[in-house]
Each structure stands twice: as C-alpha cells, then as structure tokens.
Amino acid sequence: MKLNTIDLHSHSTYSDGTLTPEELLCAARKIGLQALALTDHDTVAGIPDFLQAAVRYPEVAAIPGVEISTLCSGRELHIIGLFLDHENPGLLDFLNDLQLKRRRRNERLAEKLAALGYAADLEAVSKQAKGKIIGRPHFAEHLLKNYDFANAREVFDKLLKRDAPAYVGRPLPFPEAAIEVIRRAGGIAVWAHPIYRRSKERSWCRRILRRLVPAGLDAIEAYYPQFDESQTRIIRELAAEFGIALAGGSDYHGAHQPDISLGTGYGELRVPAEILPELQRRRGDKIREN
C-alpha cells in the first residue's frame, strides 16, 4: 500500500541504528513510504550502500543525508543535511574531525565507567557497533548484556545521559559551521527536533531561528515522534514567519528505541509527502548557487 507519507530522519548500523541501509529501505517499502532519508550521526559512510540498495527499491525515493551534532547557546543542537553530495571533500573532512573527537570522548567514557565499576573495554563495545562509529547506545547495549539493568533506558538514566555519573561531553562545532558545510556539499540544512522542553518553546525557537536563518538554514522539523499537535503548530507558524521549509521524520534507530517505528514514530506520526517538493526546490537552488 502506497502511503502519502515520507520519513526524512533515520539511522542505520553505520551510526547507532540496528538496521542496515538496505534493511531500512526494505522496511520503508513494506510500509509504503514514498521517500526515506538516511541521516546517520556525523557520518555519510552508509550512503553508498543506501544508494546502491535504492536501485532494488525504486518505489522509495532514497535521499542521502547526515545528522550533525553542534553546540548552540550552551545546548546541543542537531542539524540535518539532505540531498547532499556524500563525496564532497569539505564535508568528509568536517565529519572526520567530528569522528576523531567522538573517539576521544568514547575513551574518556570507558575510563569513567571503569571508575564506577563497569568494565567497558572499547574493543568489546566496538563489537556492538559492528566496527562502525561507536555511540552511547553501543555502550548501553554492552552494559545491558553484562550487568543487571532492566533495559537500555535504565542504563542511560543511571550512567550515560547528560548529568549522569559517566556522561562525557565532546567538543562540538557551532551550527553555522554545519550549515555552511552542508550547503557547500549541495545539500539543504534542517534544524532537527527543535523543541525539547515544555516551557517558552516558541520564544526559544524564535531566538535560535533569528541566528540560524541568516546563516542559511533551509528548513525545520515540524513532524517528530515526541511532538504533540500544539508543538507541531508552533513550528509550522515559525517556519512561515521566517520563510523556511518544513521537514520531519521518525528519528528511527531500530531496536535501540523499540517504541519508535519507521515512518510512524509512536504510531501517530505522519510526515506528509506534500512537503517534499519545496525541499527539492530549495536543493535545486543550492545546486545552482554552487
């Protein structure tokens, strides 16, 4: 069955998801998605497999992307790139630097866990990541298998989330740098999951948009599993106010977040396919600029 929906935010085994790029496309076809973007954290290593597999799943438009972690006003903020050239040298250099900083963070995280009595040798943890980029979900999976935790969420709550005993931050670029490198790679820049707190949401988003729109931000996620109708409405209104496009997706990670399904989030998410032409138009503008 063909749905009039798309999913512009998903993760594979190349970062912290549990499905391969081809498995993601297969799942997208089964549920009838019209388009799927692969947006792994700080890497485009899975994009070649994604685009190669897309030939076998022509029913689903495969969109190459990335999700870049940045720091904005003292908070972590994620910028998604869509329709980008995954072989762009500037993009690859930028992501390689982020991955180096991630590896150093992981070493410090393993040290802190050991000091707390939890052995998490990086070689062992890397097996959970199947040799690809190691993230906190892989540490959580390792700890869940070897210690008395009920589930991965409990591992995060007790050890790995921000302000937990083993949490380690890492140096992050400013969002303007991520936006610039995405645009230079021919992509469009999207502010991912902009609302994550329950007070002064509109004023927070407006303040950040005043900073990022002049820097070249193209779109903002209005459709996201954790958003209620009022939050989606806030983002839609702000997008109209600032003249930027709408985007959205499930932020699917597979078994690491079993409550969230591809395309539908917690079951109610619907990202309308009608938003895709405007995103494609903006992508065309970037190609002409370059």
Residue 198 counted as domain residue: yes
pLDDT at 236 > cutoff 90: yes
Q: 146 lies in which domain range?
A: 96-160
Of 107, 136, 160, which residue sits at a domain end?
160
Say whether both 107 and 151 belong to one domain. Answer: yes
Say whether both 121 and 200 belong to one domain. Answer: no
In tens, the pLDDT along 179-219 reads 999 999 999 999 999 987 666 889 989 999 999 999 999 99
Say whether both 134 and 245 belong to one domain. Answer: no
Lowest mean pLDDT among 39-48, 157-166, 265-274, 281-290: 281-290
Lowest mean pLDDT among 6-10, 23-27, 169-173: 169-173
Of 136, 160, 184, which residue sits at a domain end?
160
Residue 51 counted as domain residue: yes
Say whether both 73 and 184 belong to one domain. Answer: yes
Say whether both 59 and 124 belong to one domain. Answer: no
Per-residue pLDDT at 94: 98
Say whether both 269 and 182 belong to one domain. Answer: yes
Say whether both 101 and 77 belong to one domain. Answer: no
Residue 29 counted as domain residue: yes
Of 137, 160, 183, which residue sits at a domain end?
160
pTM above 0.75, yes or no: yes
Task: Label residue 29 by pLDDT band (50, 70, 90).
Answer: very high
Residue 189 counted as domain residue: yes
Say whether both 184 and 219 belong to one domain. Answer: yes
The average pLDDT across 22-33 equals: 97
Say whether both 258 and 122 belong to one domain. Answer: no
Say whether both 132 and 195 belong to one domain. Answer: no
Q: Which residue has the higher pLDDT, 288 or 263?
A: 263
Per-residue pLDDT at 283: 86
Residue 167 counted as domain residue: no
Per-residue pLDDT at 117: 94
Per-residue pLDDT at 68: 97
Residue 170 counted as domain residue: no
Say whether both 271 and 181 belong to one domain. Answer: yes
Say whether both 241 and 197 belong to one domain. Answer: yes
Residue 122 counted as domain residue: yes
Per-residue pLDDT at 257: 86
CATH number at residue 267: 3.20.20.140
Domain count for the chain: 2
Contact indicator for 275, 246 with CB cutoff of 8 Å: yes
Residue 245 counted as domain residue: yes
